[in-house]
């Protein structure tokens, strides 16, 4: 048994999962009467796309995503956004009350939510703030994982909401230290906006590295809920047995395939380049707005900033129709807002509104 399968809950190592009509149908047929489906399409579905249950893991989409991420299709599990993959990993690897999950607050909240739902102990290793911004404390993560029976370590790179990346050699060192004990899961939801190499390049050497990717951000398919877990093929095979029978609606699969066609990908890459350009423009311009205390460098499609009066700034932006993310409930971010990068026109409106809001706040102080 490989070391990565040793990380699974013992009771799931031989788990076969639910044998759906699509999974169990191994022979070709022209009349399908095995899934209790309706023989006629819905009147609202003239092309009959949705009459039959979808393929659990559509081969065409698997191949397209494998090509996009530079991995084999056997390393890839497609699910309902990254959220489903996070939940599957916690449920499959962590025994309730025994095997711990590590995350790095302030960070994306689903790691903690899934740990709590599984009753897996949650060990938090806070980010460190320095002159150059926030830093993921890899030495502290390693120590906490080794001393707290961690089975899963989630690191976000680029980190949400703080924006920093993690060098590949640091991820490699973490995986090496935790081999045989924990799976290191690198969440690369915003990887397209970073110049840093994907952690998938480390997986040939480290079978205990897994990577999360999504079409929600750079590919603008947030409502389609197409996420990918990239991991050792043996682990992927087990997780498929733990997944819901039909996780991928046919219309979403068709949309994703269209989005991964060469012409669409070319447009997406151009838009990613524009977002990066706008990110750097805002990074330079926002500190000049009155009341903005600090703006953190980012490798994602967002910027985190500290504001003298975050509540007033948030309310004033909302009053002119601009919604940003209030981060004040997160640890270390009691005065912070997160701003997604918009179009150049939207970013111009943001800068104007922040200047007006800050001026009004300053005048009334």
C-alpha 100/C-alpha 152 separation (Å) is 7
Coil, strand or helix: which one is 275? helix
- pLDDT given at position 349: 95
CB neighbourhood size of 33 (10 A): 9
CA pseudo-torsion sign 86, 91, 96, 99: negative
- Please list the residue range(s) of the chain that carry CATH number 3.40.640.10: 38-260
- With 0-12 CB in 10 A as exposed, 13-18 as middle and 19+ as buried, what is 264? middle
pTM over 0.75: yes
Q: pLDDT tens digits, residue range 253-273?
A: 999 999 999 999 999 999 999
- Please list the residue range(s) of the chain that carry CATH number 3.90.1150.10: 265-364
Task: Tell me, rounded to whole angstroms, the distance of Cα 252 from its chain centroid.
Answer: 18
- pLDDT given at position 2: 57
Q: pLDDT tens digits, residue range 123-144?
A: 999 999 999 999 999 999 999 9
- pLDDT given at position 250: 95
- pLDDT given at position 163: 97
Give percent helix, percent strand, percent coil of the chain, each to the nearest 5: 40, 15, 40
- pLDDT given at position 27: 74
38-260, which class in CATH? alpha beta
Q: pLDDT tens digits, residue range 195-231?
A: 999 999 999 999 999 999 999 999 999 999 999 999 9
- pLDDT given at position 355: 86
Which residue stretches of the chain have pLDDT < 50?
1, 356-365
DSSP letters of 114-162?
A: HHHHHT--EEE-PPEEETTEEE--HHHHHHHHHHTTEEEEEEESS-TTT
Q: CATH fold of 265-364, please?
A: 3.90.1150
């Amino acid at each position: 048994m490989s070391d990565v399968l040793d990380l699974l809950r013992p009771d799931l190592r031989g788990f076969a999962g639910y044998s759906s009509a699509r999974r169990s149908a191994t022979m070709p047929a022209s009349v399908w009467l095995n899934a209790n489906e309706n023989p006629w399409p819905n009147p609202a579905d003239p092309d009959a796309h949705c009459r039959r249950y979808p393929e659990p893991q559509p081969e065409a989409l698997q191949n397209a995503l494998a090509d996009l991420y530079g991995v084999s299709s056997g390393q890839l599990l497609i699910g309902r956004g990254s959220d489903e993959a996070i939940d599957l990993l916690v449920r499959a690897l962590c025994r309730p009350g025994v095997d711990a999950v590590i995350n790095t607050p302030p960070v994306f909240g689903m790691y903690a939510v899934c740990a709590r739902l599984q009753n897996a102990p949650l060990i938090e290793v806070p980010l460190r703030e320095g002159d150059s911004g926030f830093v993921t404390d890899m030495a502290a993560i390693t120590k906490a994982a080794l001393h707290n029976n961690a089975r899963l370590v989630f690191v976000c790179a680029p980190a949400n909401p703080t924006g920093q990346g993690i060098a590949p050699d640091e991820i490699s060192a973490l995986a090496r230290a935790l081999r045989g004990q924990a799976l290191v899961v690198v969440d690369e939801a915003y990887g397209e906006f970073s110049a840093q190499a994907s952690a998938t390049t480390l997986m040939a050497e480290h079978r205990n590295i897994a990577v999360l990717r999504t079409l929600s951000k750079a590919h603008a398919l947030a409502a389609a809920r197409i996420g990918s877990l990239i991991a050792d093929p043996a682990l992927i095979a087990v997780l498929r047995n733990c997944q819901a029978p039909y996780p991928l609606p046919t219309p979403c699969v068709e949309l994703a395939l269209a989005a991964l066609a060469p012409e669409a990908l070319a447009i997406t890459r151009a838009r990613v380049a524009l977002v990066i350009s706008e990110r750097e423009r805002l990074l330079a311009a926002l500190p000049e707005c009155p009341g903005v205390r600090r703006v953190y460098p980012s490798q994602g499609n967002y910027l985190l900033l500290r504001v003298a009066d975050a509540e007033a700034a948030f309310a004033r932006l909302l009053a002119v129709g601009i919604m940003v993310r209030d981060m004040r409930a997160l640890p270390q971010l009691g005065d912070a807002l997160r701003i997604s990068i918009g179009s150049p026109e939207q970013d111009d409106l943001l800068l104007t509104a922040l200047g007006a809001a800050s001026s009004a706040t300053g005048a009334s102080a």
